[in-house]
Structure 1
């Protein structure tokens, strides 16, 4: 005896069962549209974490190289270690609104002359005075010195250091190190500054931040996006399907046996 099968009916029964499972179509459509976006953002943050690891490795490799005299370099690169002899002039600037460990202060930028070339050197951070109107005292050695540090690019703007006039009549508080400032100082390389390393005896508080955010932070953001995606799936199951009611019904049937 031959048993007839009905694949079309079986498929229709399955489709009706899946449709019957969904009780809230607007929320279902919303979840279908939002879920891929949340997952994509999570993987994007993981890619950012990998990029930051590569950047940190490149920076560490560059900083571990032997320091060179920037006057002899044909091509300057960010974070290239440098070492040069010379002396500080009395031309210095207070870069405003710089913080270290939650304290407000300034980064001190001062002109350094090596041979016949002038460089703008960021000596590091110092705390602000109690009164905003009083700038902290800056001292520097009058004798010739050898400084060590690394190259750091200037912001490609055309302001005047953040809206402050560069007059040369004493120390100036500035808001940014840009092309407007460096272009007025007759520097050898106006597009570059030198940030002192901590072992340079003329350095203030350095503690330079090489990257804006760590790989661990991007990983944390990624897991947050993935957690939101999982929460969305759970919310959809609870609020847009009849699965909870079916589970309760099955549980009652099980306990009734």
Structure 2
């Protein structure tokens, strides 16, 4: 099939047209996805900035905030570790070394105080990521941990923590700490005899372990640059396809 336009003959070969359309759709899809990621990162940074302006809250105040709007809340309260529960999130690499993120459940000291919390039998618990610890060389050996009984929890609360899970999440051998593949509120809450707030607080100060969490790793500008890159590649595919099919003389047309 041929098309005459702009004093040129354009040779259309349908197999190549379909291939080019598929590549074009893929590149445009990647561009749109990166643009969406930029928008999500912008919203995340805006939420965090908003909560930073409003000030930090404790667990009691957190429970009064709508679950949809909690993401990015700044936490600051005296917490008590609900011993002996410690979970180690597997396969966390920091500075080229494999290790674990240390997760514990805490309660607010003031809420569990006999004077201030007498009306509340079991105050809500909150999961806290204390940071990273290196993994021993032997897989069947877990790192020795020293968790303070009480600590000041100062960090950022994230409600969007669920990832893709393949296989069993918890390696439950009846002892603590337990190795897990990801923080799943439902599976961890069975070990607590009290409500567990859906989300995770990442400690940002005064932790016995290495703090490495960043709420946004790639800034929105980087995602926009990737979106532009994929879009320009899509344009290049179209231009190359047109140039490859163009013919100047009728003698070169393949019918």
Give the C-alpha shift of residue 96 in structure 1: 1.0
Partner of 1:85 in structure 2?
A: 78
SS, match of residue 22 in structure 1:
strand
| Residues 129-208 of structure 1 aligned to structure 2 (within 5 Å) | 129-142=136-149, 144-153=150-159, 155=162, 162-165=169-172, 167=174, 169-178=175-184, 179-197=186-204, 199=205, 201-208=206-213
Give the C-alpha shift of residue 225 in structure 1: 2.1
Give the C-alpha shift of residue 171 in structure 1: 1.7
Give the C-alpha shift of residue 80 in structure 1: 0.9
RMSD of aligned residue pairs (Cα, Å):
3.6
| Residues 1-257 of structure 1 aligned to structure 2 (within 5 Å) | 18=5, 21-26=8-13, 29-30=17-18, 33=21, 37=25, 38-39=27-28, 42=31, 45-73=34-62, 74-75=64-65, 77-88=70-81, 89-114=83-108, 115-116=111-112, 117=123, 118-142=125-149, 144-153=150-159, 155=162, 162-165=169-172, 167=174, 169-178=175-184, 179-197=186-204, 199=205, 201-211=206-216, 213-243=218-248
- The CA distance in 2 between the partners of 1:232 and 1:86, in whole Å, is 57
- Structure with the bigger RCO (C-alpha within 8 Å, sep 6+) is 2
- The CA distance in 1 between the partners of 2:172 and 2:86, in whole Å, is 13
Give the C-alpha shift of residue 45 in structure 1: 3.4
Structure 2, gaps ≥5 residues long: 113-122, 251-255
Question: Which ranges of 4 or more aligned residues in structure 1 deviate by more than 6 Å?
Answer: none
CA 1:156–1:34 in 2, change beyond 3 Å: closer, same or farther? Answer: closer
CA 1:192–1:57 in 2, change beyond 3 Å: closer, same or farther? Answer: closer
Larger Rg belongs to: 1
- The CA distance in 1 between the partners of 2:3 and 2:77, in whole Å, is 79
- The CA distance in 1 between the partners of 2:80 and 2:28, in whole Å, is 55
TM-score by length of structure 1 reads: 0.71
Give the C-alpha shift of residue 48 in structure 1: 3.7
SS, match of residue 34 in structure 2:
helix
Give the C-alpha shift of residue 160 in structure 1: 11
Give CA deviations for 1:77-100 in whole Å, capped at 9, x if unaligned.
122111222432332121111122
Q: Kindly indicate which of the two structures has a greater share of residues assigned to strand.
A: 2
Contact between 2:24 and 2:238, CA under 8 Å: does it hold in 1? no
